[in-house]
Amino acid sequence: MMKLQGRVLSGLREERDSVSVAYVTATGLFEGVSEEEGRRIARVCFDRAQPKGTTIFSEGDPSDSLYVVKQGLVKLTSISEKGTETILDFLKPGEIFGELLLTEKVRAFTATANEDTVVTAVPQERFLELLSLVPTISRNFIRILSKRLVKVGKGVADSSHSWSYHRLARTLLYLGEKYGEETPAGTLIRLRLTHEDLANLIGATRETVTTQLNKFERMGLLNRRGRSLIIIRHRLSEFISSEELRLSKSQVE
Count CA within 13 A, CB hemisphere, residue 84: 11
Average pLDDT in the 187-196 region? 91
User: Is there a single domain that holds both residue 19 and residue 137?
Assistant: yes
User: Is there a single domain that holds both residue 17 and residue 71?
Assistant: yes
User: Is there a single domain that holds both residue 19 and residue 73?
Assistant: yes
Phi then psi dihedrals of residue 111, to 5 deg = -120, 125
Q: Look at residue 144 and tell me whether its pLDDT is greater than 60.
A: yes
Average pLDDT in the 96-120 region? 94
User: Is there a single domain that holds both residue 19 and residue 99?
Assistant: yes
User: Is there a single domain that holds both residue 61 and residue 186?
Assistant: no
Cβ–Cβ under 8 Å, residues 38 and 25: yes
What pLDDT sits at residue 249?
56
Q: Classify residue 154: in a domain, yes or no.
A: no
User: Is there a single domain that holds both residue 171 and residue 128?
Assistant: no
Average pLDDT in the 148-174 region? 76
Q: Give the other-Cβ count within 10 Å of 221's Cβ.
A: 24
User: Is there a single domain that holds both residue 79 and residue 48?
Assistant: yes
Structurally, how many domains does the chain consist of? 2
What pLDDT sits at residue 25?
67
Q: Look at residue 92 and tell me whether its pLDDT is greater than 80.
A: yes
pTM of the model: 0.78
Q: Classify residue 112: in a domain, yes or no.
A: yes
Q: Look at residue 11 and tell me whether its pLDDT is greater than 60.
A: no
Question: Where in the sequence is the domain holding 54, given as residue range(s)?
Answer: 2-146
User: Is there a single domain that holds both residue 142 and residue 170?
Assistant: no
Q: Classify residue 30: in a domain, yes or no.
A: yes
d(Cα 99, Cα 87) in Å, to the nearest integer? 17
Domain stop point among 119, 146, 173: 146
Buried b (16+ CB within 10 A) or exposed e, 56-92: bbeeeeebebbbbbbbbbbbbbeeeeeeeeebbbbbe
pLDDT tens figures, 203-245: 899 999 999 999 999 999 999 988 899 999 999 999 988 876 6
**Which CATH number characterizes residue 228's domain?**
1.10.10.10
d(Cα 23, Cα 115) in Å, to the nearest integer? 20
